[in-house]
A and B are shown apart, each in its own frame.
Chain A
Amino acid sequence: MSEPCITPEVIESHGLKPNEFKKILELIGRTPTFTELGIFSAMWNEHCSYKSSKKWLRMLYSEGSQVICGPGENAGVVDIGDNQAVVFKMESHNHPSYIEPYQGAATGIGGILRDVFTMGARPIAVMNSLSFGEVKHPKTKQLVNGVVAGIGGYGNCFGVPTVGGETRFHSAYNGNCLVNAFAAGLADKDKIFYSAASGVGMKVVYVGAKTGRDGVGGATMASAEFDEFIEEKRPNVQIGDPFTEKRLMEACQELMATGAIISIQDMGAAGLTCSAVEMGDKGGLGIKLDLNKVPTREPGMSAYEMMLSESQERMLMVLNTGSESKAELIFDKWDLDFSVVGETIEEDRFIIFHNNEVKADLPLKALSGDAPEYDRAWSSTSKPKALEQLPPVNPIEGLKKLIASSNYSSKHWIWEQYDSEVQANTICSSGFPAGVVKVPNTNKALAFTSDVTPRYVKANPKEGGKQAVAEAYRNLTAVGATPLASTDNLNFGNPEKPEIMGQLVEAIQGITEAVKVLNMPIVSGNVSLYNETDGHAILPTPTIGAVGIIHNINNMIKGKVKNEYLAVLVGETVGELGQSALLAEMFDKEDGEVPKVNLEKERKNGEFIRSHTDLIEACTDCSDGGLALAIFEMATESNLGFNLFERDISFIFGEDQGRYLVGCSLDKANKLIDESVKNDVHTEIVGSFIEEKIQIGRYNSSINELTPLYKNSFENSFGK
């Protein structure tokens, strides 16, 4: 079967720029074959090569004594004591989810789970961070329903609890939704598996599901902007099979326990190509593959299709000599395909045979090492429009506006579609500041959160980057966890535009500064660029996924408030209404400076909370919606009302950073305030929890009026 000719159109359709094709010609000294062109396009697209962001990603702070493995592997690995490690990463599946929401989101979960169990960890928790267009946009409802069902469909069947996440709505996502998936797993510290192959003549083994034509060119699609022909990309979306993934995980765990595996790499974006190159490149070896040995789902697949397929639930491994039969038995037990498809070679070559023909023969190192790297022009974000004087606001009306909005109403309609308790180790999940999962057979627990406030990042990328980390720090702290490390999922528009590139650069600067001070090194991550449709970019959305540890579950904060408890605000309030939720939801404005993040104060206030968990019954961070939303949510959780003392609107709805709302008895509140004076931390009593009503200053309303608004608004918009 002859392959298509390499014409300028063919090159362009592979997303390769003329200068990039020139570089290919220089590297191999001839015109590439069609399969080779496909391999280059798979390796050199933005998604796989990070060519626009690499320069800046190197700046991310990823050090700390807790870090066992930082960025560059399938996932980050962090020490949690007792010879145990938590393995985690967050990754986007934005483009496919917009085109085919159910499968796009499902395979996003599948991909991130594989990243985690490839490293030898057993997944214990997943989260998701979702961004959709405005509610009234005709596509939004379908996307929300499809994405949520897809996430649930995959995670529930696989058997991993979904313990947290966030969902936002903004017109900037009308043409590009974001689906960021986080997964974490547990492993023994001395049994982590890496992707670097070693040894010449070692067998390269393919396991898992068969290769089909789904997802061919997916990574290239994910590296381009959308236009009106986006529906035609539907065949590029992969189809997920969580049942196969579950078996693949179990089989890999069994094989890992036997010591047969030298290296292992999952087939994700750019499938067989990317995984084989990764293993060879990291191990300083070449790889030879015979595609006739690859298990295929349909007959007549070409070398090009096999190398670029993104069929899910597949792994590539290099095994110790002589352990093939042992490995095959295990995969046979789980009814999965197993095939020796090639071997490692000494020369720096990536050789692909198919039907006794050489379909590709490329220098392997150059495929990743010589991938283009751009130092793209960038410009600083200009100052946002100044905040104008607001008309008088009735705080009850302001609160009602927030709790009835799709952004701030209760999301139980979403999270009840996720199994949050499978494995029976979940201590708390969605609805709490952070998800908390007990580490089996210990008294420890791990806490998980994902955070970002895109409208802050848009107004001030650096402060917004800092804020995303600070909010994650606070959410972990609010359950009593000590933050350990983080993962970043950087979602931006077209990096070829200097203002977009500027958002990326400055957000990275802010993130780096924050993770350094707060000791939450970035150990893994993912970049998703070109989130634009017809030239309209999304809000810059650098999602931070963070993990914290609770050394003794008896010290965690998970209580509820009771009648007559006091509401104590920890941290200082100036009253920052710029870019606030109140401004956006009530006045439809995105004006003013973002709230400032004082990292030293963040740390100090966080340490204060964590060292006084005995005095704190309930705790939440103050973020979107400020004090008003925080106290409402805390009260509603206990079916109570509250009395918030008379203050300025900026105090009640301001989004000043570094603050926590604590609920506790009078006695404990007094002690907590005494302690705060000793520790030079600002605290003040701002109100109390009561049974009869919701009171803010001289305004009031009934619990029966506000609770249904909060609990039913979301379902009314999306469920019916």
Chain B
Amino acid sequence: MTKVGIIIFPGSNCDRDLAEGLVSTGFSVEFIWHKNIELPNNLDILAIPGGFSFGDYLRCGAIAAKSPITDAVLRFAKGGGYLIGICNGFQVLCETGLLPGALVGNVGLKFICRQESLLVENSNSIFTSKYYFGEKIQIPIAHHDGNYIADTETIAELEGNGRVVFKYLENPNGSINNIAGVLSRNRRVLGMMPHPERAVNKIHKSNDGRSLFLSLLESFR
């Protein structure tokens, strides 16, 4: 069974949701406390869930990026491991340097929680193979700091190499080029602000997040 390690910071609050979403699509999961310095050695994928890792009173994700577990996460990524960071997890990945750019306060300076339409900009990644290019999907957002910024060259590099995987149809937060999710250079690390784990089962308003988990699952078969 494909196994996902979910890292828990003291203020993570989407860890259980993510675990449920992953289990319901066929993964097994293991929670990893941020004070550990080693990862379990049988992990296929690492996930950093949403929440407020250390309260986010400082820059979101900044303290989490200095947690004891971070060195092990960096080693895992450098060894070619697959990683997904959702919402606060995306912010943490940017702070560790595994993904370029940064997430700053929404342009309206308010927290926004709502269903958002996304466009799939790259269906060739292991995270998005079950979508088709240009597909319009519904996935909710819930964040105060989801405004993605990076310098012009970085944006051009991301856009030019298919590293922007999701874009908002209507920009809710001011992100450059409507960017909602990006890939690392080796395309094995995905960071995204929307919450796919809130769009996986029949009680949710949309099930469009399911294809993301199923894409990932298929690539390990």
Which of A335, A419, A423, A425 sits near B113, CB closer than 8 Å?
A419
Shortest A423–chain B CB gap in Å is 6
Of the residues B11, B113, B144, B200, contact of A247 by C-beta under 8 Å: B11
Query: Are A417 and B11 CB-contacts (below 8 A) given A242-B55, A422-B17?
Result: no
Output the nearest chain B residue to A158 by Cβ-Cβ distance: B13
B111 with A417: CB separation less than 8 A? yes
Using known A-B contacts A421-B140, A421-B195, determine if residue A243 contacts B10 with beta carbons closer than 8 Å: yes
User: CB-defined interface of A325-339 with B at 8 Å, one 1/0 digit per residue?
Assistant: 000000001110000
- A192 CB → nearest B CB, Å: 22
Shortest Cβ gap from B145 to chain A (Å): 12
Partner of A159 from the list B20, B51, B110 (CB cut-off 8 Å) is: B51
Q: Which of B20, B35, B111, B197 contacts A419 (CB 8 A)?
A: B111
- Known A159-B51, A335-B10; judge A243-B17 contact (CB<8 A): no
Query: Interface readout for A156-192 with B: 1 if CB under 8 Å, 0 if not?
Result: 1111000000000000000000000000000000000
**Contact: B111 with A156, CB < 8 Å?**
yes
- Binary per-residue interface labels of chain B (123-135) against chain A in the complex, 1 for a CB within 8 Å, 0 otherwise: 0000000000000
Complex: A487 Cα to B110 Cα, angstroms: 31
Q: Is A553 interfacial (CB 8 A cutoff)?
A: yes
- Contact code string B168-210 (vs A, CB < 8 Å = 1, else 0): 0000000000000000000000000001011010011000000
The interface residues of chain A lying within 8 Å CB-to-CB of B140 are: 421
Decide if A620 is an interface residue (CB 8 Å cutoff).
Answer: no
B71 at interface (Cβ–Cβ under 8 A)?
no
Q: Judge whether A318 is part of the interface by a CB distance below 8 angstroms.
A: no
B14 at the interface (CB under 8 A from A): yes
Contacts of B50 in A (CB 8 A): 422
Q: Is the CB of B113 within 8 A of A553?
A: no
Chain B positions within 8 Å of A423 at CB level: 13, 16-17
B13 touches A424 (CB 8 A): no
Q: Which residue on chain B has the smallest CB distance to residue A250?
A: B10
Find chain A residues with CB under 8 A from B204 CB.
424
Among A149, A243, A334, A426, point to the contact of B57 (Cβ < 8 A): A243
A157 to B56, CA, bound (A): 9
**Contact across chains for B13 and A159 when beta carbons are under 8 A apart:** yes
Q: How far is the CB of A171 from chain B (nearest CB, A)?
A: 27
> Assuming the A-B contacts A243-B54, A417-B110, are A156 and B142 also in contact, with contact meaning beta carbons closer than 8 angstroms in the complex?
yes
In the assembly, what is the distance between CA of A285 and CA of B137, in Å? 61
Closest beta carbon of chain A to B4's beta carbon, Å: 16
Q: Cβ of A438 < 8 Å from any Cβ of B?
A: yes
Q: Compute how far the CA of A412 lies from the CA of B200 in the bound complex, rounded to whole angstroms.
A: 24
- Chain A residues, CB < 8 A from B61: none
Using known A-B contacts A422-B13, A424-B198, A553-B203, determine if residue A416 contacts B56 with beta carbons closer than 8 Å.
Answer: no
Report Cα–Cα, A415/B54, bound state, in Å. 24
Q: How far is the CB of A297 from chain B (nearest CB, A)?
A: 16
A241 interface hit (Cβ, 8 Å):
yes
Is the pair A157, B113 in contact by a Cβ cutoff of 8 Å? no
> Is B75 interfacial (CB 8 A cutoff)?
no
> Residues of A contacting B16 with CB < 8 Å?
423
Contact, CB under 8 Å: B197 / A424: yes
Complexed CA–CA distance, A184 and B59 (Å): 31
Alpha-carbon separation in the docked complex, A247 to B12 (Å): 10
Contact of A243 among B11, B35, B144 (CB under 8 A): B11
Q: Does B5 contact A (CB under 8 A)?
A: no
Tell yes or no: B52 within 8 A of A by CB.
yes
B88-131 contact mask (Cβ, 8 Å, vs A): 1 or 0: 00000000000000000000001111100000000000000000
Instruction: Tell yes or no: A530 within 8 A of B by CB.
Output: no
Interface string of B16-39 (1 = CB under 8 A from A): 110011000000000001010000
Of chain A, the residue at the smallest CB distance from B57 is A243
Instruction: Given A243-B11, A247-B11, A427-B203, answer yes or no on A416-B112 (Cβ-Cβ < 8 Å).
Output: yes
User: Which residues of A lie under 8 Å from residue B33 when comparing CB positions?
Assistant: 333
Q: Is the CB of A424 within 8 A of B10?
A: no
Is A565 part of the binding interface, using a Cβ–Cβ cutoff of 8 Å?
A: no
> Do A424 and B54 have beta carbons less than 8 Å apart?
no
Chain A 238-250 interface mask (CB, 8 Å, partner B; 1/0): 0001111011001
Complex: A335 Cα to B10 Cα, angstroms = 9
Q: Is A152 an interface residue (CB 8 A)?
A: yes
Q: Is the CB of A152 within 8 A of B11?
A: no
In whole Å, how far is A160's beta carbon from the nearest beta carbon of chain B?
8
Q: Do B203 and A246 have beta carbons less than 8 Å apart?
A: no
Q: Tell whether, in the assembled complex, residue A241 and residue B195 are in contact, meaning their CB atoms are under 8 Å apart.
A: no
A156–chain B nearest beta-carbon distance, Å: 6
B52 touches A242 (CB 8 A): yes
B110 touches A149 (CB 8 A): yes
| Smallest Cβ-Cβ distance to B52: which chain A residue | A157
Shortest distance from the beta carbon of B14 to any chain A beta carbon, whole Å: 6
Task: Name the CB-closest residue of A to B13.
Answer: A159
Residues in chain B near residue A427, CB distance under 8 A: 203
Q: Which residues of B contact A (CB under 8 A)?
A: 10-11, 13-14, 16-17, 20-21, 33, 35, 50-52, 54-57, 110-114, 140, 142, 144, 195, 197-198, 200, 203-204
- A: which residues have CB within 8 A of B? 149, 152-153, 156-159, 241-244, 246-247, 250, 333-335, 412, 415-427, 438, 440, 553
Known interface pairs A157-B55, A419-B142, A424-B20; 17 further A-B residue pairs with C-beta atoms within 8 A, sorted by A's residue number: A153-B111, A156-B113, A156-B144, A157-B13, A157-B52, A243-B56, A246-B11, A246-B52, A333-B35, A416-B112, A418-B113, A419-B113, A422-B17, A423-B13, A424-B14, A426-B203, A440-B20
Could you list 29 examples of A-B contacts with CB < 8 Å? A149-B110, A156-B113, A157-B52, A159-B13, A159-B14, A241-B55, A242-B52, A242-B55, A243-B11, A247-B10, A333-B33, A335-B10, A416-B110, A416-B114, A417-B110, A417-B111, A418-B111, A418-B113, A419-B113, A420-B113, A421-B140, A422-B13, A422-B17, A423-B16, A424-B197, A424-B200, A425-B203, A426-B203, A440-B20
Closest 8 pairs between A and B when the two form their complex, measured CB to CB = A159-B13, A243-B55, A424-B17, A157-B52, A419-B142, A427-B203, A419-B113, A417-B111
